[in-house]
Amino acid sequence: MSDSSSATSSVGRVRKRVHTAFEQHVGIDDRALAAFRLVLGSLLLFDVLHRSQYLETFYTDGGVLPRSLLFEQYAPAKYSIHALSGEPWLQIVLFGCAVVSATALLVGYRTRVATVCSVVLLFSVHFRNPFILNGADRLLRELLLLAVFLPLGNRWAIDALGGSGGDAALEHDTEPTARSGSDTRITTPATAAILVHIVVVFVNNAVLKATGDTWHSGEALGYALRLDHLTILLGDIVVNYPLALEAGTYVWTGLVTGAPLLLLLTGRLRIAYVSAFIAAVIGLAFSMAVGLFPAVLVGAFLLFLPPRVWDTLEHATAIAFNRVDVLERSISVIRGAADRVSQPSTVESVLSPATRRRAQQCWSLVLICVLAVVVLWNGALLGEVNGIEPVDSTVPDEYQWRMFAPDPSTSYGWYVVTGHVGDGEDIDVLRGSTYRADRPPDASDAFPGFRWRKYLHSLFDSDVRAERFSVVMCEHATAQTDASVANVTVTYTEQPITLEGETPPPETSTVVKRSCSRDRNAELRTVTTSR
């Protein structure tokens, strides 16, 4: 009997050690989840507001990518809600829904429902026009999809004040039973899935960089920060210091290559490693205009920070605000008003204890399936298993998460859309100004925004898209001047990059030229070139 008790006790101790180790490596502090939720909500709001500036141009049949052309060139578009109509009104309604769901996610109201709605709308708008996406968009939607299975509304949320309905009840019930003291970590297959996925994304990037020549020779940032259409602020300064560029190249390469340490390290060492990553990404944000990429990465890294970081931040915040309960009471009043309008029913009042237990068991099974899918997903990223993307889906190469891998480009360029006016000065259609033949002071000024830059690059891959783009540019040119616009010409000027010696002169090629005559039988000349 004593031997049996001793064996049971030993097994119990081993299980406890395993659970503690698992919690330290793949558990996520619930305040980290809350911070992650705040980042996701803010990013989604920024994204939809930024997209709305060019709603008609990129998302309607009157723009550069009508649905007939979209369905022909991108098979998954048939799953897009945004592609149900080519009229602007549908896009306005769906963009409005995206704002509502992103706001609900930001404040943590009906968090899981808001997350699911945001996922559906984000996938849908991505499928409506995949040619303006970059790797940050793909990473954002992957993280948002995995966030559906995380308890994002447990802290710093309306859902966390005074109890809430079905989602929150299920989230609290799925927390591990062994939580000691002030430890606020949540450990489930879903937390393991999202942390593992983030690490594998970096490992995949490190493998790609290892196949190139410039990252391990210290030259990569020298090329990257000379991409004038991307470089801003700090990047324009640092590019003049070769030693700093070389050191930065090795530091970033080392961080990315050592990404598995994000999971292996714990305590202060993990804090130091995550802090180094965050500092590097913030430096990138002030050096290069790469869209949502830095903010998405910072949000992802927050998930790795252990409880002691959040304890310190909460203590500092409490001192700064002195009376946080005033804010909490204000939010509670807002929550009460919202509840009186919606009149939700809680899981406890609707389901019996037995039914709730079965629901929790089913949810645990779902989380295990999520972890399995992520393992396969990440295996595909690393090339260990066949990809799970449909074979007939066409995804632009630059939509993959490469971040200057295997090597940064050795050239950059800018586009000019010239409207040739019969009896007046030619106009720069994209910038809405008089045409200037000389090089722009900053190559990034040639683009209205990073979405435009992505779409213009895609014109090299499709004569049909280039033709449609020229039609829309004719309409824009005509709207910008009272004079008659004879034709528009889209040109791309490529500037080679050299780290030493004389820089070669730029070369200009014609992407497409179109007559703007109202005659439908007007001659169309499309010239596409490969870079």
Residues 218-236 pLDDT 10s:
999 999 988 888 888 888 8
Identity of the residue numbered 403: M
Average pLDDT over residues 421-436: 78
Nearest to 405 by CA among 298, 292, 252, 282: 252
Q: 469 with 350, same domain?
A: no
How many structural domains comprise the chain? Answer: 2
Dihedral sign for Cα atoms in the order 94, 96, 100, 105: positive
**What local confidence, expressed as pLDDT, does residue 480 receive?**
77
Dihedral sign for Cα atoms in the order 444, 446, 451, 454: negative
**What local confidence, expressed as pLDDT, does residue 162 receive?**
58
Domain containing residue 497: 410-525
- Average pLDDT over the chain, rounded to whole? 79
Is 403 among the domain residues?
A: no
> What is the dihedral angle through the alpha carbons of 135, 138, 139, 145, rounded to the nearest 10 degrees?
180
Is 389 among the domain residues?
A: no
Q: 433 with 513, same domain?
A: yes
Q: In this predicted model, what pLDDT tens digit does every residue of 65-119 receive, in sequence order?
A: 999 999 999 999 999 999 999 999 999 999 999 999 999 999 999 999 999 999 9
Q: Which of these ranges, 9-13, 160-164, 276-280, 290-294, has the smallest mean pLDDT?
A: 9-13
* Residue 423 neighbours by CB under 8 Å, 6+ apart: 483, 484
pLDDT at residue 529 is higher than 50: no
**What local confidence, expressed as pLDDT, does residue 362 receive?**
63
* Residue 456 neighbours by CB under 8 Å, 6+ apart: 415, 447, 490, 492
Q: 144 with 259, same domain?
A: yes
Q: 337 with 451, same domain?
A: no
Q: Which carries the bigger pLDDT value, residue 216 or residue 395?
A: 216
pLDDT band at 247 (very low <50, low <70, confident <90, very high): very high
Nearest to 181 by CA among 312, 269, 311: 311
Instruction: Return d(Cα 493, Cα 509) in angstroms, integer.
Output: 6
Q: Which carries the bigger pLDDT value, residue 465 or residue 323?
A: 465
Backbone angles phi, psi at 151, to 5 degrees: -80, 75
Is 531 among the domain residues?
A: no
Is 405 among the domain residues?
A: no
pLDDT band at 390 (very low <50, low <70, confident <90, very high): very low
pLDDT band at 399 (very low <50, low <70, confident <90, very high): very low
Q: 85 with 210, same domain?
A: yes
Average pLDDT over residues 324-330: 52
Share of the chain above pLDDT 70, in %: 73
Instruction: Return d(Cα 53, Cα 448) in angstroms, integer.
Output: 10
Instruction: Return d(Cα 110, Cα 115) in angstroms, integer.
Output: 9
Q: Which of 339, 360, 381 is the last residue of a domain?
A: 381
pLDDT at residue 300 is higher than 70: yes
Q: In this predicted model, what pLDDT tens digit does every residue of 332-363 receive, in sequence order?
A: 555 555 555 444 444 444 555 666 556 555 65
**What local confidence, expressed as pLDDT, does residue 343 receive?**
46
pLDDT at residue 396 is higher than 60: no
Q: 368 with 491, same domain?
A: no
Q: 365 with 492, same domain?
A: no
Q: 415 with 376, same domain?
A: no
Q: Which carries the bigger pLDDT value, residue 517 or residue 109?
A: 109
Q: 361 with 443, same domain?
A: no
**What local confidence, expressed as pLDDT, does residue 400 receive?**
46
Q: Which of these ranges, 134-143, 382-391, 487-496, has the smallest mean pLDDT?
A: 382-391
Contact 191, 32 (CB under 8 A): no
Q: 521 with 480, same domain?
A: yes
**What local confidence, expressed as pLDDT, does residue 151 receive?**
93
Cα–Cα–Cα angle for 360, 363, 366, rounded to 5 degrees: 155
pLDDT band at 23 (very low <50, low <70, confident <90, very high): confident
Q: In this predicted model, what pLDDT tens digit does every residue of 463-488 receive, in sequence order?
A: 899 999 988 988 888 887 777 788 88
Nearest to 465 by CA among 70, 9, 165, 108: 70
Instruction: Return d(Cα 500, Cα 521) in angstroms, integer.
Output: 51
**What local confidence, expressed as pLDDT, does residue 322 receive?**
54
Instruction: Return d(Cα 256, Cα 265) in angstroms, integer.
Output: 15
Q: Which carries the bigger pLDDT value, residue 372 or residue 350?
A: 372
Q: Which carries the bigger pLDDT value, residue 503 or residue 383?
A: 503
64 alpha carbon, distance to own chain's centre:
23
Is 451 among the domain residues?
A: yes
Is 395 among the domain residues?
A: no
pLDDT at residue 166 is higher than 50: no
- List residues bridging with 411 in a β-sheet: 496
> What are 451-457's contacts with CB under 8 Å, separation 24+?
451/50, 451/51, 451/54, 451/58, 451/132, 452/54, 452/132, 453/229, 454/131, 454/132, 454/133, 454/134, 454/396, 454/398, 455/58, 455/64, 455/129, 455/131, 455/132, 456/415, 456/490, 456/492, 457/398
Q: 196 with 82, same domain?
A: yes
- What's the whole-model pTM score? 0.82
Q: 197 with 48, same domain?
A: yes
pLDDT at residue 164 is higher than 70: no
Is 4 among the domain residues?
A: no
Is 5 among the domain residues?
A: no
Dihedral sign for Cα atoms in the order 354, 360, 361, 363: positive
